[in-house]
Amino acid sequence: MSKPGTITAVNALILLYFSVPTSVADENSPQWYAWRGPNGDGVCHEKYSDWSFDEKPQWTFKMKGRGVPVVADGKMYVFGYHGEGADVEETITCIDARSGEQIWQHAFRDYISDTIYDRYSIGAAAIDPQTKNVYLQTTNGRFIAFNAEGKILWQHSMMERFGRLTFPNGRTGAPIVEGELVIMHCITSYWGKQGPARDRFYAFDKNSGDIVWVSEPGIAPKDSSFSTPVVESRYGTRVFYTGTGDGNLVCVNALNGKPLWRFHMSFGGVNSSPVIYRDTVICPHGKENIDTTEEGRMVAVKMPGTIDFTAKQAVLPASSEVWRNPTVSFTSSPTIVGDRIYQVSKVGELNCINAETGKILWHEKLGNDNLHSSPLYCDGKLYVPIFSGKFYIIEPSDEGAKILHTLEPGGNLIGSPAIWNGHLYLHTTKQLYCWKFNQKGIETLPQPVKGIPLPGKVTELRVVPSDVLLQPGGSRKLKFERLDAAGRTVGTSESGDFAKYIPPTAKVKTQMDAGFLKDTISATTTARASAGAWKGSDGDVGGIFRGRVLSSIPFSEDFESYKTVVDSKTDPGEKFAYPPLPWIGARFKWEVREIDGSKALRKTLERVLFQRAMTFIGHPDLKNYTMQADVMTDGNRRIKSDVGLINQRYLIVLKGNANLLEVNSNQERLKVSVPFPIKYKTWYALKCRVDLDKSGTATVRAKAWPRGEDEPVAWTIEVPHNKGHTKGAPGLFGFSPQSQKPVYIDNISITTSK
């Protein structure tokens, strides 16, 4: 007999299948809502009569890309980019899926990321099957919801709001829509218990954009990951499986974000999306294995038969591995059809694998290497892009691969194909292509619909949003959802009874300077910058939510009130104080230390992951402000650190080694500097502002001078930026090459520009 909170694979009723009738394909046929198709496995469920293929495209659309177009009701949404140098912009474009005519487009400039070269749009949008709204994460972390007409419904700057980190490889991936939620993942360093850098999953209310839950199913990441979750019904709820940046294959409850289990495979990130075969999850990776010195493998992991929702996340033992084979795929994802897996390896080989045993039945050499792109299966044929630019249409059997067509459309193939209503779409680094199949009829194959049981006893009160952001004088209404142990919604409550709460494990014992009444949390006009948790109940069930208050302008901080009483583990005998809790990512990047007879912020050195540290100290919607601070680099004649400020999505940096004052927003998109001699262990005053004119040009102005001397009248540097950033959170920047030399910041002030 199962104990309470335990769901078995048998009693979950997940094997209820209902067939969708076969029909002629049109707008009611299977849509291509997500990058891997309707079931997340790279399979299109259309079937054609008298199929043939004309190698000449029906139309092309000039837009560079590295992802996958998605389609619903004849509208295609393409994530791409255009322009050169400082004018590069990522775009989402709505196109008529039949004619290739543009319907609408939004463009986005990169800001304060470290994406290099043109590694943009490595991902895809996702479409909500119910509302047909569209969701996209840009390379630097804007998460945006649009309706089908192109109106922006809501958006978050994940970098400024939740501490999203960026990486030179630019891998972004795609969100998924699950019921009333839209789920995405990225590596973040936020605040409090979410301060350490982790590969986290964020679920937002798909309609309002409110944060619903945050999940942290892995350990410290070694790499970024753009593995897209695959969802199914299991354990009496909805779960997803995906790879993470710490080398794990994880299973997470999609309804409430609770990590259920993980299986550790590699020392690096797992970028491929898995596939499901019966009671196993199958996934390749391309990093060093945790149990051998070899690089990469494909594994089948047996899922636990039962889950105890009241227990901690299970770490599956090595014996959970049913089989492995030597297939190495760094970022390409497999396709599964019946008990056959089709996967393109890192060295450009198409493999056919028995899903039951892991045996490689055959392999076909298609190119010298492959990156990101994944195969698609439809009506007995595989559509296989290869990085070098070749695109194959292949008829597979258990004996081998029969190549029907080989195309070279132009450009590298880093994305994957999509099929909708007899049309084949492929995005290259040159443009988007559409081929229309020759056929005399399209059928929609039956598809299983999986159900989950009705909700059970209420065990939890969930507050939405689960993480509140306020400024002085602001307020926020909350929603209260009653959930059962499996995360299923039982009902809602009109109000709750919540009070400030300090978790016993909290390193910084502070509370949010706000008040709570019935269903609203609010901050007075004099509220101080603060952060904390709230714990409460609605009758018989309780819950917790978190919140921050960020300072409004004017703002100043000299750190003199901080008590440096914490013993340093890296510098014996030294003591420090933790930085302000509501500052994003501050705790693991900065410490308040005694320096030169006063207290100042010092960049930490023990974490190489944070050798480049950005910390946001204000609201993402702020604009038209002037920042000033005292800054100091450390080092010697050979190596010096960099220090700077963030103003409205621009970095203003004293470059220690280069002896420059630099303005940049992305090193390859906007970077302008002037000579400025910098002495290490010497304090400088740094001042900056951003002015926006009516044409949309932003002019970044900055000046620096030795602390204690008179402020110069003229700006040291003035940088105009066409289509400039109109808003952005103020912040702090430090770069310690290989975490060797610290950075210091003191006497921060932010005032309204005049």
Looking at the structure, give the CATH architecture of the domain made up of residues 555-752. Sandwich (2.60)
Say which residues have a Cβ less than 8 Å from residue 462's Cβ, sequence separation at least 6.
Answer: 212, 213, 256, 480, 481, 482, 483, 543
Q: Report the distance separating Cα 505 and Cα 328, nearest Å.
A: 41
Q: Report the distance separating Cα 324 and Cα 300, nearest Å.
A: 6
Q: Are 81 and 88 in contact (CB under 8 A)?
A: yes
Amino acid 436 reads K
DSSP string, 59-99: EEE--B-SS--EEETTEEEEEEEE--GGG-EEEEEEEETTT
Q: Are 427 and 65 in contact (CB under 8 A)?
A: yes
Q: Report the distance separating Cα 741 and Cα 639, nearest Å.
A: 8
CATH code for residues 23-442? 2.130.10.10
Nearest 5°: phi and psi at 603? -70, 135
Q: Report the distance separating Cα 24 and Cα 379, nearest Å.
A: 15
CA 597, 603, 604: angle at the middle one, nearest 5? 115
Alpha carbon of 681 to those of 61, 373, 631, 684, 739: distances in Å?
Answer: 55, 49, 10, 10, 17
Mean pLDDT by 10 residues, the chain (754 residues): 42 36 48 93 96 98 96 97 90 98 97 90 96 97 98 98 92 95 96 94 98 96 93 96 97 98 96 97 95 94 96 97 96 97 97 98 96 96 97 97 97 95 97 98 81 91 98 97 96 93 89 96 97 93 96 95 93 94 93 95 86 93 97 90 97 96 93 96 97 96 97 98 96 90 96 95
Q: Report the distance separating Cα 6 and Cα 306, nearest Å.
A: 7
Nearest 5°: phi and psi at 348? 85, 20
Tokens 């420059």 — which residue?
A: 660
For the chain, the maximum distance between any two Cα atoms, rounded to a whole number of angstroms, is: 84
Say which residues have a Cβ less than 8 Å from residue 637's Cβ, sequence separation at least 6.
Answer: none
Q: Are 729 and 538 in contact (CB under 8 A)?
A: no
Plot region of 243 (φ>0 → left; ψ -120 to 50 → alpha; else → beta): beta
Q: Are 111 and 88 in contact (CB under 8 A)?
A: no
Closest residue by Cα to residue 187 from 585, 645, 544 = 585
Say which residues have a Cβ less than 8 Å from residue 704's Cβ, sequence separation at least 6.
Answer: 654, 661, 676, 684, 685, 686, 687, 716
Instruction: Look at the pTM and tell me if it is higher than 0.85.
Output: yes
Q: Are 685 and 711 in contact (CB under 8 A)?
A: yes
Nearest 5°: phi and psi at 495? -160, 175
Based on the number of CB atoms within 10 Å of its own CB, is 306 exposed (0-12), middle (13-18) or buried (19 or more)? middle
Tokens 């304090």 — which residue?
A: 683
Q: Report the distance separating Cα 719 and Cα 699, nearest Å.
A: 5
Q: Report the distance separating Cα 278 and Cα 15, nearest Å.
A: 11
Q: Report the distance separating Cα 498 and Cα 363, nearest Å.
A: 60
Q: Are 542 and 535 in contact (CB under 8 A)?
A: yes
Closest residue by Cα to residue 586 from 555, 554, 610 = 610
What is the structure's pLDDT at 631?
Answer: 98
Instruction: Report strand pairing: 46-48 vs 442-444.
Output: antiparallel
For the chain, which residues make up each domain, given as ranges?
23-442, 494-549, 555-752
| Torsion over CA: 345, 260, 136, 224 (sign) | negative
What is the structure's pLDDT at 222?
Answer: 87
| Torsion over CA: 588, 136, 344, 380 (sign) | positive
CA 605 to chain centre: 26
Q: Report the distance separating Cα 344 and Cα 620, nearest Å.
A: 41
Neighbours of 357 (CB within 10 A): 13
| Torsion over CA: 231, 233, 239, 242 (sign) | negative
What is the structure's pLDDT at 42?
Answer: 96
CA 704 to chain centre: 36
Alpha carbon of 192 to those of 246, 549, 584: distances in Å?
Answer: 21, 14, 9
Q: Report the distance separating Cα 397 and Cα 384, nearest Å.
A: 15
Report the length, in residues, of the chain: 754
